[in-house]
Amino acid sequence: MRKTRRQWLAIPALILALSPHPAYAQDRIPPEISLDEALRIARQRSPLLQADLNNRELSDWNVRASYGSLVPTADASSALSWQGSGEQQFGSVTLSQLGFTNQPSYYFSSYSLGISYALNGQILLALPQAKADREAQIAQGSASEARTVLLVTQAYLEVLRQEEGLKLAERELERARGNLRLAQGQREVGTGTPMDVRQAEVAVGRARVNVLTSQNGVRTSKFRLLQEMGLDPQEEFTLTSTFDLLEPAWTEEALMEMALEGNPQLVGLRATIRTAEISTKMAKSSYLPSLSFSAGISGFTREASNPGFLVAQAQSSSLGQVAQCEALNELYRRLADPLPTQDCSRYLFTEPQRRAIVNGNDNFPFSFTRNPPSASMRISLPIFQGLRRQRDLEAARIAEEDARLQVRDQELRLRADLASGLSTVQTAYEAALIEEENQVWADEQLRLAQERYRLGGATFLELGEAETVKAQADRDRIAAIFAYHDALANMEALVGTPLRTR
C-alpha cells in the first residue's frame, strides 16, 4: 500500500519534470543557432511583430461582422417591476377624489420579441471593404515581418563582425607578445635596446585593451540580437551561419521585377488602393435609397397585491349601474305615456363575478396578455443634406488618388534604391577583393619586417609600422566584407526575397 501511494504521489512530480518550464520554453535558445533559427524565433517572439500580426485576427472578425450585417437582427427583452400602494394623481384629480381609496401595490411583468432588417449602400459595401482592409492588414503584417527579418539579419551580422574583430584582436595580442619576446631576445644578445622592449610592452598593453573592447562588443551585439529576437539577454550560444562573398550576378531589371512583386511596402500601398476604391463607392452610395423593416410581438401582466381593491371597484361600478337603472325606470314611470322599465337586477354584483376577478388577478409573472403584433417597412431617399455627402465623396476620391500617387512614389523610390543598392553591393564586393589582396601584402610585409629585425637589419620602429599596417589591413578587410553583406541584406529587404544561400 505504501509503495503504491508513493508511486501515485510521484506522478505529479514526473509531469512537472517532463513539462517545459515556461521561462525556459520561452526564453532559452539552443547553444548553436543559425540565422534561419534566429528568424524563426523572432517571428514567434518579437513583440512589435506579434502586435502587428494580432491585428489580422481583428480584421478577420471585421469580415465576419460584415457578413452578419447582411442578416436580420433579432432581440428579446423582459422586465419585472413593482409599484407600491398610495395616492396617485391623474391630471388634476386623484384616485380618492374619484372614489377609489386604499389602492394596493401592483406587480408588473412584460416581454417583447422583435426582428429588424436594414439595407443600404453602406451595408452592401461593408463586406468588400472589410475584405480589402484585411488584405491591407495582411500586407502590413508582411511588411512588419520583413522589417523584423532585416533587423535580425543586421544584428546577426553585427555579432559575426564583432566576433571577427575579437579574433583579430587576439591575433594582434599574440603577435605583440611575440614581438615582445623577440625584442627581449635581441636585447639579451646585444642587438636590441631597452626602448625596443618598452615599445613592445606598450604594444602588448594596447592589444590587451583591444581584446577587452572586442569582448565587450561581442557581448553587447549578442544582447542586441536577442532583443530583436524578442528574448532576454544571455551569452551561452554561438552563431553557426556563414556568409560567402559572392560576385553580384543580378541585373537591375531582374531585381526590379522581383521588387515590384515582393516589396512589402509596395504590396501594402497597393492594398490601400483597393480600400480607398471601396471607400469612394461607399461615399457614392449615400445618394441611394435605404430600406428598413421591423416586426415584433409583446405582452404584459398586471397583478394587484390585494384583490379586494379590484372587487371593491367592481362592486362600486355595479352599484352605480343599478342606481342609474333605477333612476331611469323612475323616469319611465312618470311619463304621460309610461315606458316599460328595465330589470336592474342584472347589474347586481354576483359571486361568480367576484371569483372571476380574483382568478383574473393571478397573472404575475408569466400569464401574459399579448399586445397586438406590429410590423413596419420604411424606404428613405436622401435629397439634401447640406453638401455633406459631396464633401465626403470628394474626400474619398482624393484619398484614393493619394493612394495611387503613393504607390507611384514608392515605385520610383524602389527603382532608385535598387539601382544605388546594386551599385553599393558591386562596389563593396570589389572593395572586399582588393582588401583581401592588401591583407596578403600586409602579411608579407610583416613577415619580412620580423625577419629583418631578427637579423638586425631593421629597427623595432619599422617592425611596429609593419605591425600597424597589418592590423589596419585586417580591419579594413573585415569592414569591407561585412559592408558587402550589409548592403546585400538591405537589397534583400527591397526585393522581398533572399538573394544568397546561407
pLDDT at 103: 74
In a domain, residue 218? The reply is yes
Do 206 and 336 fall into the same domain? no
**pLDDT in tens for each of the 502 residues of the chain?**
444 444 444 444 444 344 443 333 445 678 889 999 999 999 999 998 888 888 888 899 999 999 988 889 999 999 999 888 777 666 666 666 656 666 788 889 999 999 999 988 888 899 999 999 999 889 888 899 999 999 999 999 999 999 999 999 999 899 889 888 888 888 887 777 888 888 889 989 999 999 999 999 999 999 999 999 998 887 678 999 888 888 888 898 999 999 998 899 999 999 999 999 999 999 998 888 999 999 999 999 988 888 887 888 888 888 888 889 989 888 888 887 888 888 888 888 888 888 888 888 888 888 888 999 999 999 998 888 788 889 999 999 999 999 999 999 999 999 999 999 999 999 999 999 999 999 999 999 888 988 888 887 778 888 888 888 988 999 999 999 999 999 999 999 999 888 875 4
Q: Which of 332, 348, 380 is the C-terminal boundary of a domain?
A: 380
Residue 207, all three cell numbers? 592589444
Residue after which a domain boundary falls, among 361, 380, 399? 380
Whether residues 405 and 283 share a domain: the answer is yes
Same domain for 276 and 412, yes or no, is: yes
What are the Cα distances from residue 15, in Å, to 10, 12, 19, 27, 194?
9, 5, 6, 21, 70
Residue that is last in its domain, among 334, 356, 380: 380
Q: Which long-range contacts (CB under 8 A, 24 or more apart) does 414-417 make?
A: 414/256, 414/259, 414/260, 414/263, 414/266, 414/494, 415/256, 417/494
**What CA–CA distances, in Å, run from 60 to 50, 56, 121, 132, 380?**
16, 6, 22, 11, 32
Q: How many structural domains does the chain have?
A: 2
3-state secondary structure of 403: helix
- Domain range for 334: 73-84+102-114+300-380
> The cell 510521484 sits on which residue?
10
| pLDDT attached to residue 337 | 80
Strand bridging mode 290-304 / 106-119: antiparallel
Q: What is the distance between the alpha carbons of residues 328 and 348, in angstroms, rounded to a whole number? A: 16
- Give residue 298's pLDDT: 94
Give residue 170's pLDDT.
93
170 falls within a domain: yes
